[in-house]
């Protein structure tokens, strides 16, 4: 099959990558559309030491599996493949199974190829009204929803989302549905404009710096801050925006090895919440009702044959979501 393969040094478009073979509990899925995530770019910088077919955001059609009801269905898939038997799995924390493989990230070929395999239990049918271009966002939207799963966000809370990348834009939209007082802080007027169009308040980061000088206005006012930057400077801004005893959600992994100072978290009695993968079913429900706008986040779609160009585009400054079409 055709696939975008990272060999530890370079990304290659292979035309004769071996077709994946499903195990007994797995389904063979023909990928229709896949997304490029920042994590894919991080992997090419050495994150997780992964080699193989990249990609973990996709929508596809089930071609073969033991359950006849699944065959021919349009599906999306949870990316963590857990053992289902260890103490962690039996406690319901499947995405934290120490034996897990993860689609295109840990020990399992990913979605940026014509075919993939995933356990049948990982698959979710896509409702008929949700087009491929929206369904392909299920995985990152689920990650945004995970914040609501972990934190009791009150409708009276004041909330800041720091970072206007793809994930930040999804998090701001999801959290705003609770009716909370929310503003998104970012550096890109054209990205923040997507939120303004949905009636969500935004703050340009240099404006924040200005407010910062009159500390009692902008700082230590939020009940909850979500850092979607993955940069120590974003973390620092998030912390300064948070009130004492507030909740700081870390929604991005940190590419930098530079550490952050923890003493202020003790002094202000901050609750820090790390946040990663989220639940697919609520994401599909929000997509079905069009309560989140994902299609405005698409910068470009490339055919798999132009997959290397797709990655070049994904790494360009100012790019939001780049999709790769297999059909």
Q: Binding residues for its own copies, per CB under 8 A?
A: 145, 148-149, 152, 154-156, 174, 176-181, 198-199, 278-279, 281-283, 285-286, 288-289, 291
Taking phi over 0 as left and psi of -120 to 50 as alpha, with beta for the rest, 38 belongs to alpha
Q: Closer to its own copies by CB, 53 or 297: give it.
A: 297
Minimum separation from the CB atom of position 281 to its own copies (A): 7
Spatial contact of 36 and 17, defined as CB atoms under 8 Å apart:
no
Q: Closer to its own copies by CB, 180 or 308: give it.
A: 180
Minimum separation from the CB atom of position 286 to its own copies (A): 5
User: How many angstroms separate the CA atoms of 212 and 41, rounded?
Assistant: 32
Q: Closer to its own copies by CB, 83 or 177: give it.
A: 177
Q: Closer to its own copies by CB, 51 or 156: give it.
A: 156
Minimum separation from the CB atom of position 240 to its own copies (A): 24
DSSP 116: E
User: How many angstroms separate the CA atoms of 67 and 44, rounded?
Assistant: 36
Task: Determine the distance from the C-alpha atom of residue 293 to the mean position of all C-alpha atoms in its chain, rounded to a whole number.
Answer: 15
Q: Which residue intervals of the chain are DSSP H helices?
A: 38-44, 87-90, 132-135, 138-150, 166-176, 189-196, 205-213, 215-218, 232-241, 263-267, 280-288, 307-314
Minimum separation from the CB atom of position 176 to its own copies (A): 8
For the packed helices 138-150 and 280-288, what is the interaxial angle rounded to 10 degrees? 110
Q: Closer to its own copies by CB, 34 or 143: give it.
A: 143
Minimum separation from the CB atom of position 301 to its own copies (A): 26
What token pair was written down for 146?
A: 């995970």
Q: Closer to its own copies by CB, 205 or 228: give it.
A: 228
Q: Which residue has the tokens 């507030």?
A: 246
Minimum separation from the CB atom of position 199 to its own copies (A): 4
């Amino acid at each position: 099959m055709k696939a975008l393969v990272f060999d530890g040094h370079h990304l290659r478009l292979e035309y004769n990558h071996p077709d994946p073979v499903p195990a007994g509990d797995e389904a063979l899925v023909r990928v229709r559309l896949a997304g490029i995530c920042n994590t894919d770019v991080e992997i090419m910088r050495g994150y997780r030491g992964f080699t193989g077919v990249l990609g973990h955001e996709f929508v596809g059609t089930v071609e073969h599996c033991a359950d006849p009801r699944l065959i021919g269905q349009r599906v999306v898939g949870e990316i963590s493949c857990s053992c289902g038997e260890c103490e962690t799995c039996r406690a319901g924390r499947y995405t934290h199974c120490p034996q897990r493989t993860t689609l295109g990230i840990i020990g399992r070929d990913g979605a940026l190829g014509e075919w993939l395999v995933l356990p049948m239990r990982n698959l979710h049918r896509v409702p008929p009204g949700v087009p491929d271009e929206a369904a392909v966002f299920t995985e990152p939207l689920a990650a945004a929803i995970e914040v609501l799963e972990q934190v009791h966000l009150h409708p009276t809370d004041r909330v800041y989302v720091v970072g206007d990348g793809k994930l930040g834009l999804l998090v701001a939209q999801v959290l705003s549905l609770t009716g909370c007082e929310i503003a998104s802080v970012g550096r890109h007027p054209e990205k923040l404009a997507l939120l303004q169009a949905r009636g969500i308040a935004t703050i340009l980061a240099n404006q924040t710096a200005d407010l910062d000088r009159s500390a009692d206005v902008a700082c230590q006012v939020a009940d909850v801050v979500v850092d979607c930057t993955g940069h120590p400077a974003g973390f620092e801004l998030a912390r300064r925006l948070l009130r004492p005893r507030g909740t700081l959600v870390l929604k991005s992994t940190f590419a930098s090895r530079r550490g952050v100072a923890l003493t202020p978290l003790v002094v202000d009695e901050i609750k820090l919440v790390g946040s990663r993968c989220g639940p697919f079913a609520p994401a599909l429900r929000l997509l079905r009702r069009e309560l989140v706008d994902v299609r405005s986040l698409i910068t470009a779609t490339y055919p798999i044959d132009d997959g290397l160009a797709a990655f070049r585009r994904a790494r360009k400054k100012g790019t939001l979501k780049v999709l790769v079409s297999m059909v």
